[in-house]
Amino acid sequence: MSKKLFSLFVLIALLLSLFPANVVAAPALQEGGTTYTVQKDDWLSKLADKEYGDPLAYPAIFYYNNLMAAKDDAFNSIADPDLIEIGWTIYLPTAEEAASYMAGEVEAPAITEYNEAPMLAEMVASGELPSVEERLPAEPLVVMPIESIGQYGGTWYRGWRGINDFHCYGRINYEPVLRWPRDPRDPVQPGLAKDWKWSDGGKTLTLFLREGLKWSDGAPFTVDDIIFWWEDIENDPDITTAPHAEWVVAGEPMELEKVDDITIQLKFAGPNGLAETVGLAFHGNQWPLGFERFGFFAPKHYLEQFHPKYNSDATYDLFEEKAWEYNTERPSMTPWRITEWEAGADHMLATRNPYYWKVDAEGNQLPYIDEVYFYLVEDNSVINTLALGGKIDMQHRGMQLANYPVFLENAEAGDYEAFLWTNAQASGMTFFPNQSYTDEKYRELLQNATFRQALSHAIDRDTINDVGWLGQAVPRTITVVRDSALYQPDIENIYGEYDPELAQSLLDEVGLPVGGDGMRTFPDGSELILVIEGNSQWGQTELDAIELVAEYWRAIGLNTSVELTTRDLYWPRAGANEVMIATWTTDRGLVPMIDPIYQFPFDERSWMAPAFGIWYKTEGAEGDEPTPELKELMDLYDQYRVTVDPDERLAIAKDIVRKTTEHLNVIQTVGMAPAPTIVKNYFHNVARDHTSDWLIMTPGTQDPCHYWMEPH
């Protein structure tokens, strides 16, 4: 890879971390920097290294140069950070400016007037809409650009597999009360709430909504929409079985207290460390988020007429139908809302929300793009075919790594760029030695950390990577990905080196003798057979990985068999503690404490010890009592749940990741495998460097509302 190409990847990562979506005002240019003429072989990282002693500081040059170019035609504006031309005049900021920028102190300039899309301006002129100033809240959220200020217009074409593929629509409309940041290592950011604060020792959370927020039909968005969700959806047993766990502390559901139309207090029986992240950044969207059935608000003014509590003629089936995102009449708070869809159609259409509550740094109301057109297709292979044919404007969902070479070959003809986003899977194939297995001899063996180390050292992860993942994944044993705030490089591949001889010596240390057939037995001489189980419906990549690991374990003298069944049979067996060594991926590698099933036995889905997970889930009423090592992890998570200080929460979470990785509670192979992202050359503000994860609603954290398209 060239230095320039490497610089581009690093630059975009930095831009993401330095442009959080909630930033609101900007330091003035000191104008004490240097006017510089670009020379041969210059690139921004080289100039940053020369000027500031840090090649990674070149986003500061990009940012401040363009500020200067906007006010002085003598400077060349940089549109693409990797493309600067010999002879250009650019501005090199002062060391103080660069340091301020790199510290994340850059804020958007004050906005004095607002602009709107031409299609909305026409509706204002005809009297169909009020002015943009009347439609926006008093303090709209200002979205800083990943690449540039955009232009209005265009239709964004995507591939969609029907109503069960809800996230194809939902993730480009990620609009919760609080937001995951663009850089996952940063803290939670403002969203519909402009601010929030804890009091009463972490038992009361006060939310401050933006004044003047409006639903897509123009009705006011207030705390009454939150109270309606809580009282009439979340606590109605005909709609929700029980309140979600993040709203229950010490067995007591939260209580809501309305302060005024834009201020509400969430009161808990004890400190609630899950409210900001799980409750408001992950689940804090409009209910029901398709089939996920979680949220934090709903349009009371629209839905109460269909709720049996308020209308004796209404039914719960009708209420569900009207609350569903595919109802084209339902108001929303998202940049686009579904305006065309019916059963039997060949596409779905989502159109801009005229009351959307975000603007760019120049006061242009977002979104830039007029509408999103979803081709209805049968499966992902059709989506990939559409992309190869140039029919997709921008899409990551459904794109297959196996097609990446073909995407590259056809990029010029299709007028698109193909690049890779890292997947938030810590491992694409993971093995779960069951430490709560019902057979006592195997349970004791699988609880032995030295034995698990032997299993890990026997695995040739490089070969697995080459065979299954085109060499694009990373051999590793840590349970999080590199972009996670919990990542710790010193343990990324602890006990992951391929060393069959070491593995054999560790088996000797465990005390497993070699029988007459050359295979290991239990210390009493009885037969030892490891049984790996998995999903027969997986793709060839995953099935090959399972067979390779079985061969590696046989090679160090461990009889190993593989049993594959369909998911509907396999999954219940694994959760019922009936599988000796289960297999699955370890996703949730970016923000794992949202659902920590791979960090410790959290519930029956934690196949490293499902019976222990059931014990934890039921507070000891069911299941088996865990080992001291695993109970320590449970105790740490209990501390995490009641800690509201973000720094303390981070420290506890990192400790959990370190301990479970060092204990090899799950045995991973290779992870962070990328998947292609297809972007038309006329489509802008898409981050090139991104870790994809459904828990952060990829690509939602990039603010798709500020994606834009050149006329074409």
- 572-602 confidence digits (pLDDT tens): 999 999 999 999 999 999 999 999 999 999 9
Single out the residue of 383, 414, 381, 379 nearest to residue 396, CA to CA: 383
Q: Band of the pLDDT at 99, cuts 50, 70, 90?
A: confident
Distance CA 383, CA 300 (A): 37
Task: Give the Cα-Cα-Cα angle 631, 668, 599 (nearest 5 degrees).
Answer: 25
319 pLDDT above the threshold of 60? yes
350 pLDDT above the threshold of 50? yes
Domain extents in the chain? 3-102, 111-164+335-424+681-712, 176-333, 427-671
Q: Band of the pLDDT at 20, cuts 50, 70, 90?
A: very low
pLDDT of 100 reads 78
220: β partners: 214
- 458-467 confidence digits (pLDDT tens): 999 999 999 9
Q: Which long-range contacts (CB under 8 A, 24 or more apart) does 21-24 make?
A: 21/141, 21/142, 21/143, 21/144, 21/179, 21/181, 21/182, 21/189, 21/703, 22/141, 22/142, 22/179, 22/189, 22/190, 22/191, 23/106, 23/107, 23/108, 23/142, 23/144, 24/107, 24/108, 24/139, 24/142
Residues with Cβ < 8 Å from 652, sequence gap 6 or more? Answer: 636, 637, 639, 640, 643
Distances (CA, A) of 326 to 321, 346, 353, 645, 705: 8, 15, 15, 39, 20
DSSP letter for each residue of 449-513: HHHHHHHHHT--HHHHHHHHHTT-SEE---SS-TTSTT--GGGTTTT-S--HHHHHHHHHHHT--
234 pLDDT above the threshold of 80? yes
Q: Band of the pLDDT at 56, cuts 50, 70, 90?
A: low
pTM value is 0.86
Distance CA 652, CA 654 (A): 5
Q: Is the dihedral of CA 320, 324, 328, 332 positive or negative?
A: positive
Distance CA 609, CA 614 (A): 9
The mean per-residue pLDDT over the stretch 130-138 comes to 98
Task: Name the 3-class secondary structure at 553.
Answer: helix
Q: Considering the domain 427-671 in this protein, what is its CATH number? A: 3.10.105.10
Write b or e for each residue in 655-664: b if 16 or more Cβ atoms lie within 10 A of its Cβ, otherwise e: bbbbbbbebb
pLDDT of 110 reads 76
Lowest mean pLDDT among 53-57, 282-286, 679-683: 53-57
Is 599:486 a contact under the CB 8 Å cutoff? Answer: no
Distance CA 74, CA 84 (A): 15
pLDDT of 63 reads 82
As its CATH architecture, domain 176-333 has: Alpha-Beta Complex (3.90)
* CATH 3.40.190 at 111-164+335-424+681-712, yes or no: yes
309 pLDDT above the threshold of 50? yes
Other Cβ atoms closer than 10 A to 541:
18
Single out the residue of 435, 320, 421 nearest to residue 694, CA to CA: 421
The mean per-residue pLDDT over the stretch 60-87 comes to 83
Q: Helix, strand, coil shares of the chain as percentages rounded to 5?
A: 35, 20, 45
Cα separation of the two ends of the chain: 31
Distance CA 333, CA 356 (A): 7
Q: Band of the pLDDT at 7, cuts 50, 70, 90?
A: very low
292 pLDDT above the threshold of 50? yes
Is 581:429 a contact under the CB 8 Å cutoff? Answer: no
Distance CA 35, CA 324 (A): 56
Distance CA 449, CA 464 (A): 23
- 167-193 confidence digits (pLDDT tens): 999 999 999 999 999 988 889 999 999
Distance CA 26, CA 97 (A): 11
Q: Is the dihedral of CA 477, 483, 487, 488 positive or negative?
A: positive
Backbone angles phi, psi at 113, to 5 degrees: -150, 155
Q: How confident is the prediction for the chain on average, in pLDDT?
A: 93
692: β partners: 423
pLDDT of 681 reads 96
